[in-house]
Amino acid sequence: MSGRRPWMVGTDPAGQGGIAAVVSVYAQQGWMARHGVHYLVSHRAGSALARALLFPWALLQLLGALLARRVSVLHAQVASYGSFARKSLLLALARGFGVPTVFHLHGAEFQKFYAGSPAWRQRWIRHSLRSSTRVLALSEAWRDFLLSIVPEAHVSVLANPVTFPAPAPIGPPVPGRVLFMGRADRRKGMFDLLAALGQARAHLPQLHLHVGGDGDLEAVRKAIAREGLDGVVTLLGWVRGADKERELAEAEIFVLPSYDEGLPMAMLEAMARGKAVLATPVGGIPQAVRDGVDGLLVEPGQPQQLADALLRLGQDAQLRATLGAGATARVRACYATDTVLAELDRVYQGLHA
């Protein structure tokens, strides 16, 4: 660990969620090793005591490295609420030592977090953005929001990178299979999806749903029973690796009816695999999915619209194929790892310059 090197701080890459997925791609593609990045874990799942002790330990590690002049850049992967609180303190510490900082925003609820914060916290959020050497947003929509609250911030867009799977003999999609991947809760539109599925199955009974993710699964089970969907919905828990690839391969439709989003990795992965995507125009999704070209978009909180779109996709194999091909082309052009990591290289070159 001799010499100055970039430090990146975020949640445990072995854990769950979008930040973990993005950092894992950076590592798998060799970007972290190429830049000599030291990754500092500031949060991971575990007991309340373990979580409480982890951040002070991360703070001490960073302080020691700063005192020894071993940090050339601090790159923080930031979400909302507790994630912002932790990372903003670490960024401030690095700035105090004259180290360039990167505020890399992933938080799907950051706009709500800012709007619902007291005045002192809003000032601190604006200060953290304004004081960062670079701010990275996942989409043009998020860049525009950040500049609306801090016009002088140095904000640029860096999309999430997506890997393309190697061809594998997993088999064709299962007829009627719908896949949801993410946290199964209200923000992700899970209860709207269950209501829509019940409506759509009245006309297309072969539709069935696989849910890959965590969340309040007991509330989801109650909603399944309330909608009369017992035996129609399979709760998989969090899926990764070969299990995730199999679920993506076997799905005919990928659906994510969220109310808030950054730029969802699960959706991009489904697009890369040629799936017909049904989503909502929130966060960075409208920049990735053009309605009728790369997927279908419906307004959040509208189960009837969602049901109609499910029926349309479920009944039209040609539409699914056309949208799936458009999705793959879109991801290859805008979100492939080579494209995104080359842009991140340019960000780091600018920091060192």
Q: How confident is the model at residue 1 (pLDDT cuts 50, 70, 90)?
A: very low
What's the pLDDT score for residue 24? Answer: 94
Cβ atoms of 116 and 86 closer than 8 Å: no
Sign of CA dihedral 71, 74, 77, 81: positive
CA atoms lying within 13 Å on the CB side of residue 298: 22
What does the DSSP 8-state code read for residue 45? S
Per-residue pLDDT at 60 exceeds 50: yes
Q: What percent of the chain has pLDDT over 90?
A: 89
Contact partners, residue 26, CB within 8 Å, separation at least 6: 32, 37, 161, 341
**Mean per-residue pLDDT of the chain:** 94
Cβ atoms of 255 and 178 closer than 8 Å: yes
What's the pLDDT score for residue 169? Answer: 54
Q: What are phi and psi of 229, to 5 degrees?
A: -110, 20
Q: What angle do CA 29, 31, 32 make, to 5 degrees?
A: 115
**Token duo for residue 229:** 């969907």
What does the pLDDT look like over 255-276, one tens digit per residue? 999 999 999 999 999 999 999 9
What does the pLDDT look like over 48-59, one tens digit per residue? 888 889 999 999
- What is the C-alpha separation between 295 and 287, in angstroms, rounded? 12
**Token duo for residue 187:** 């923000």
**Token duo for residue 264:** 């969802």
- What is the C-alpha separation between 222 and 219, in angstroms, rounded? 5
Q: How confident is the model at residue 156 (pLDDT cuts 50, 70, 90)?
A: very high
Q: Are residues 115 and 199 in the same domain?
A: no
At which residue do the structure tokens 């992933």 appear?
Answer: 106
What's the pLDDT score for residue 170? Answer: 62
Q: Are residues 307 and 342 in the same domain?
A: no
Q: Are residues 313 and 344 in the same domain?
A: no
Name the pTM for this structure.
Answer: 0.91
Q: How many Cβ atoms from other residues are within 10 Å of residue 87's Cβ?
A: 24
Count of domains forming the chain? 2
Greater model confidence, 152 or 46 = 152
What does the pLDDT look like over 278-306, one tens digit per residue? 999 999 999 999 999 999 999 999 999 99
What's the pLDDT score for residue 148? Answer: 98
How distant, in Å, are the alpha carbons of 21, 287, 334, 344 from that of 340?
14, 15, 8, 6
Q: Are residues 347 and 314 in the same domain?
A: no
Q: Are residues 23 and 118 in the same domain?
A: yes
Q: Are residues 230 and 316 in the same domain?
A: yes
Q: How confident is the model at residue 332 (pLDDT cuts 50, 70, 90)?
A: very high
* Domain hosting residue 235, numbered range: 177-334
Per-residue pLDDT at 177 exceeds 80: yes
Q: What are phi and psi of 126, to 5 degrees?
A: -60, -40
Q: Are residues 318 and 346 in the same domain?
A: no
What does the pLDDT look like over 94-153, one tens digit per residue? 999 999 999 999 989 999 999 999 999 999 999 999 999 999 999 999 999 999 999 999
Greatest extent of the chain over all pairs of C-alpha atoms, in Å: 67
Residue 121: its H or E element: helix 119-131
Q: Are residues 206 and 305 in the same domain?
A: yes
Q: Are residues 65 and 107 in the same domain?
A: yes
Q: Are residues 149 and 268 in the same domain?
A: no
CA torsion angle for 341, 344, 346, 347 (degrees, to 10)? 180
Q: How confident is the model at residue 18 (pLDDT cuts 50, 70, 90)?
A: confident
- What is the C-alpha separation between 114 and 109, in angstroms, rounded? 9
> In terms of Cα–Cα distance, which of 57, 310, 347 is closest to 203?
310
Residue 60: its H or E element: helix 48-67
Q: Are residues 209 and 263 in the same domain?
A: yes
- Which amino acid is present at 312? R
230-236: long-range pairs with CB below 8 Å, 24+: 232/197, 232/201, 232/207, 232/208, 233/194, 233/197, 233/208, 233/209, 234/208, 234/209, 234/210, 235/184, 235/211, 236/210, 236/211, 236/212
What does the pLDDT look like over 234-243, one tens digit per residue? 999 999 888 9
CATH number at residue 115: 3.40.50.2000
- Which amino acid is present at 134? R
Residue 59 lies in a domain: yes
